[in-house]
Amino acid sequence: MPQATKSNTKHHNMNILLTGGAGYIGSHTLIELDKAGHSVVVVDNFYNSQPEAIRRVEKIIGHEVTLIEADIRDREAMDKVFTEHKIDAVINFAGLKAVGESVAKPLTYYETNMNGVFVLVDVMQKHGCKNIIFSSSATVYGDPAIIPITEECPKGICTNPYGWTKSMLEQVLSDKQKIKKNTGPVLPEKYRGNHVEVRDLSVYEDAMERSTANG
């Protein structure tokens, strides 16, 4: 089994909380973060994933991964994660993601996706963590005004509950960042690509995922 090679680039190594880290995008992100020299704590409730994904990543990177089975809506569990691991930044991939299922189970999607981020951000604030990458979706564009979709494309009217959870959470995080004067992002310059500069929270969007048509 080939092993990932760590980067020799000098930068500030961080303790990163990767929620939903056992999923497809999460597990690939885990490999890249490890290659970059960061310490990663994975939190996943395995609703849409399996622990086997992390075991396979461990074979690739050549060492064990700190893996915690928990739901980000569990405030006590998340508080324990931040207390024990001194988290510098969060990448959030946790949440329900099936468009069709969201139409059949709208309340489940609103409660799970939105409350999960509410709890996560609240715990982050409690522990002084000001950096989050929020994984959004192309569904926020509704019937897109521009094809192919670019970052300049305006948000549209969403056509399903899943899309609305992402769209509303973008607004929630944008509103949250306006509360206090920003003291400056913790992430180094190389990680400040597509983000909304904020006052007490630096919100980073997953531009790659938003630019896909699959949501």
> Residues with catalytic annotation?
162
Cα angle, residue 16 at apex, residues 183 and 19 outer, rounded to 5°: 115
The half-sphere exposure of 13 on its side-chain side, counting CA atoms within 13 A, is 13
Task: State residue 167 phi and psi, 5-degree precision.
Answer: -65, -45
**Residue 153 vs residues 138, 139, 166: alpha-carbon distances, Å:** 10, 12, 16
- What does the block give as tokens for 162? 């899943």
Sequence-distant (6+) residues with CB within 8 A of 10 are none
